[in-house]
Amino acid sequence: MDAAPYPTQTPLIDPFARRITYLRVSVTDRCDFRCVYCMSEHMTFLPKRELLTLEELDRLCSAFVGLGVKKLRLTGGEPLVRRNLMSLIRSLGRHLESGALEELTLTTNGSQLAAHAADLYAAGVRRINVSLDTLDPQKFKAVTRWGDLDQVLRGVDAAQAAGLKIKINTVALKDVNEGEIPAIAEWAHGRGMDLSLIETMPLGDIEGDRTDQYLPLSLVRARLASRWTLNDIPYRTGGPARYVSVAETGGRIGFITPLTHNFCESCNRVRVTCTGTLYMCLGQEDAADLRKPLRASEGDEALVGAIREAITRKPKGHDFVIDRRAAKPALARHMSTTGG
C-alpha cells in the first residue's frame, strides 16, 4: 500500500451538476455495540471473504481521490475493530501529504479510541466524529446493549489529549434521550466540541418499531430555541448538517434531518460498503459492484470506469419515510452494512 499518488483525472459530476468530492467508506460491518436503532442484538455479519482487503480498500479510496474526492471518511460498523486498520489509515495519509486529499477522518463509537487516538493523529487525521447518545451510564447500556460509557469517555479524553478535534453525533430518540439533549450540548460545548443531532433513519430490521423511536428535529430545535438563543450560521464540514450557534454556550449544534427536511439538493457524497458496493444515495437501493473490477485486474481502468458509470445514475434525492402503517424499514439493509 505504498504506491505513488493516484493521477488526477476528470472529476466526478452527477446528472444534477453536483460534484462528488466526499466519499464515505465502511471498512467493516462489525461493531462491538448493538445500538437499538441500528442493529438487531443477534446480528449475522458478513463472511470475511466477502469484505474488501485493506489493500483493496486502499486502491478503491485512491481511485476516488484521483477522481477529485477531497474528503474521505472511514466508517463501519465500528471501524476501529477492523484488524490492522491503522495500516490502511497510515497508507491513505500519503494523499494528505501530496495535497490530493484535504481531509481523512472517521466516525467511531469511541470504544477503541483510547488505544488508537495518538496513532490516528500521527497518521494525519485531525478531526473525528464520536457517536454518543446519552451521558447516563444505565441509559447508555440500554441504548448500546453492550457498551460501557466510561470506556467511551476515556476515549474522548485520549482523543482530545492527542490533538484530535471531536464532533459528537447524537441520534434523537423519543422517550429515551430527548430530555437530555440540552445537557449533552452543554457537556460537548464545555469541552470545545460541536454537537450534531440526527433523526433516526429507517434502515434495517432492528427488532423494534421505529415509529416509537422517531423524534423530529424540528421539535427538538423548537424546544432548544425556547431555552437558548439559536442563530443560523453558514458553517459547513462537508456533510449534511445545518448549523446554529448557541449564544449561551458558545458552541455549535448541527441538525441532520433526512426525514423532516432532506438535504439532497447539495449532496456531494457517495458511500462504499465494506464489500465494495457503491451506493450513490443512502436512501436508494440502486448500487454498483466495485469489488468485481477491483479483483479482475491489478490495473484500475475497469474500476474507474465502473465508478464513472455509477455516478451517472446518482438520483436527485432519497425516499426516506417513517412508515406509520407498517412497522418496517424503508430499506432492508442495515446502516452498519452501508456505513454510518
Was 35 annotated as part of a binding site? Answer: yes
Was 61 annotated as part of a binding site? Answer: no
* Sign of the alpha-carbon torsion through 227, 210, 326, 75: positive
Was 83 annotated as part of a binding site? Answer: no
Was 274 annotated as part of a binding site? Answer: no
Look at residues 149, 151, 146 and name the one whose alpha carbon lies nearest to residue 177: 149
Was 77 annotated as part of a binding site? Answer: yes
Was 107 annotated as part of a binding site? Answer: yes
Measured between alpha carbons, how far is 278 from 276 in angstroms, rounded to an integer? 6
Was 269 annotated as part of a binding site? Answer: yes
Q: Which three cell numbers stand for residue 285?
A: 437501493
Contact 169, 129 (CB under 8 A): yes
Element (H or E) spanning 57, and its range?
helix 54-66
Element (H or E) spanning 334, and its range?
none
Was 201 annotated as part of a binding site? Answer: yes
Was 131 annotated as part of a binding site? Answer: yes
Look at residues 37, 95, 93 and name the one whose alpha carbon lies nearest to residue 335: 37
Was 31 annotated as part of a binding site? Answer: yes
Return the residue matching grid coordinates 481531509: 103
Reported residue count of the chain is: 340
Was 297 annotated as part of a binding site? Answer: no
Q: What does the DSSP assignment read for 274-298?
A: TTSEEES-TT---EEE-HHHHHH-S
Element (H or E) spanning 65, and its range?
helix 54-66
- For the annotated binding site for GTP, the residues are 24, 73, 107, 167, 269-271
- For the annotated binding site, the residues are 24, 31, 35, 37-38, 73, 77, 107, 131, 167, 201, 264, 267, 269-271, 281
- For the annotated binding site for [4Fe-4S] cluster, the residues are 31, 35, 38, 264, 267, 281
- For the annotated binding site for S-adenosyl-L-methionine, the residues are 37, 77, 131, 201
